[in-house]
Structure 1
Amino acid sequence: MTEPTLQVRLGRLSLRNPILTASGTFGYAREMASYVDFSSLGGVVPKTVTLEPRIGNPPPRTVETASGMLNSIGLDNDGLDTFIEKHLPYLLQLDTAVVANIAGRTIDEYSVMAGKLAPFSDLAAIELNISCPNVSGGVDFGTNPESTEKVVAACRNACDLPILAKLTPNVTNIVPVAEAAKNGGADAVSLINTLQGMAVNWRARKPILGNVMGGLSGPAIKPVALRIVHQVSRAVDVPIIGIGGISTIDDVLDFLVTGASAVQVGTATFYNPNVSGTLSQQLAVALNSEGISDVNQLIGSLRLDAQPKSPTLQKTTIPETL
């Protein structure tokens, strides 16, 4: 049987296949080397880095919730210079696309960071984290179309690499924000970052997270993520990377059909470190089972004009040996 075409494009960014890892869930990749064949992935997005080192938020930083997880790490990292010196050389020798993820407190910080990464032409792209709900200032850029356009444009002017804008769902209407990211020069938008939430210990009358609130991820947010991908794909002419609750091949295909050209796998990596590699293998099997020769035939193929008479859900059967 002929292998289906898995290569996808998001603006100027070309990927071997549409399966990437999500920032904050895959470390700097070195930690995952014994679990994942990097060559099987479409790309790796390492942990968010900031211009200066950050110690992050006070513990506890994570808590399990129904069908998900709350995290309040607070962008704990050693800063951009250390990332460039100690982590980037290892990342750039991996046999997969590497997308650096950056966050700043000001537009100038984003611009400076993009400029520092600009010389590394082997980087596939830079993802702008303008949507982290766990740090002051980090989410503000992504909640306002004007500031979103300004920060994307500043990075676009400082760097020739493809730019991805990672947007927050914690807004009334994300479409104007996605439009602003496109107007600022983003090659694609990543949808979505985590939903702001909290957990409490009612017996102690205290919040569980040290920072009180955190970002909700995992299967619980998939319906929200799909809704946002659908809305943006119908309203804005910009490639989309879908993020939110992806753990099975059906999840991947749901996002592609809804309008995403690629996906990022996040929370599932914590309980199945090789899930992204497994999904990459399963994608080809799933396409063959449907007689689809090119994954791009699926992207944005959702039909709204013909609803099934009986809404029975059928799961894609994939051999467990993969």
Structure 2
Amino acid sequence: MSKKKQDDQIIKELEERLAKLKGTPPSLEELEERFAKLQDRPYIPTKKSGNEVDDLIEQLQSELKLEQKSKSLNDQKDQAIRDRLDKLREDSPITQKKTPIDLSFNDTKSIITDTIDAQADIASSYANRSTELEEKKALLHLAHNLTEARDIIRDIPPISKEYAPKLLDVIASWLGKIYEGIKKIASPAVNIIKEIGSSLVHSIKSLPHQSSKQQIKLKKLYRTYVDLKGIKPKIKEEFLKKHYERIDQLQTPKEIFVETAKITQSIRIAGKQKINTLKQQQIINRMKQQSPTAFINNNSFTPSNTPTNKAKSSKSNQR
């Protein structure tokens, strides 16, 4: 078989495999089971003990273990932003020496699959937090399809340089179709995921071209990132200003593509941290409603940085 026929066959098989990801989402339980298999973890159906307060306390204990692991990182988040600002001041756009980015086919494929993996993780994290059935199903279906697409793209064999633009167009087009599954869902969390997906699709589409017009989308992703981090307004604005200056210096589609992948990974981390914080607060509020007395008697479950403990500490100090 000639190289041309081999490349045509690669693209045809890719389209056929990605086309199978379309369709109506199955039941929520089936989605959860499928997604667990894709992640190589056992599927454990959610069980209730019959006592909602006990369930909430058990869930809170689990969430607090997660909080303890990330607490030191959260305490230093403003300092991390300041350190990054200092680095940006040193590498100002005027003095910065730019090295042209040269990506091989495998480099491009690897960045795409890593970014899709991050997006699937973001979608599944928001799905687990969602209390709306349709939103939960749509996000889990998206996470499942993105994970499948990641594996399909990862399996693509090497292809001729002249066929790469056609292959990238197929990938971008089918990713866009996968994201249509959440088109009708409107919520702040889903809007973030739509934005991330749109940025990746457009950055892939622009790769074969000489110039890119994706700077605006990239700036939106940076604003999403700092909003999720919840940093102080003054630091936030300075951080964005410096990054916007840097983004304005990006000229080639490859630079935009790589930067889009980087900020998606940052959004993945910031989003999961915010979800953990919100889940803990949600559980605490529900415990207060279910059994205020039990909540007071079990205040060892209250995180050390909550207003309750701060107030108690200040009273003790006054004594």
Instruction: Give the TM-score normalised by structure 1.
Output: 0.24
| Bigger radius of gyration | 2
Greater helix proportion = 2
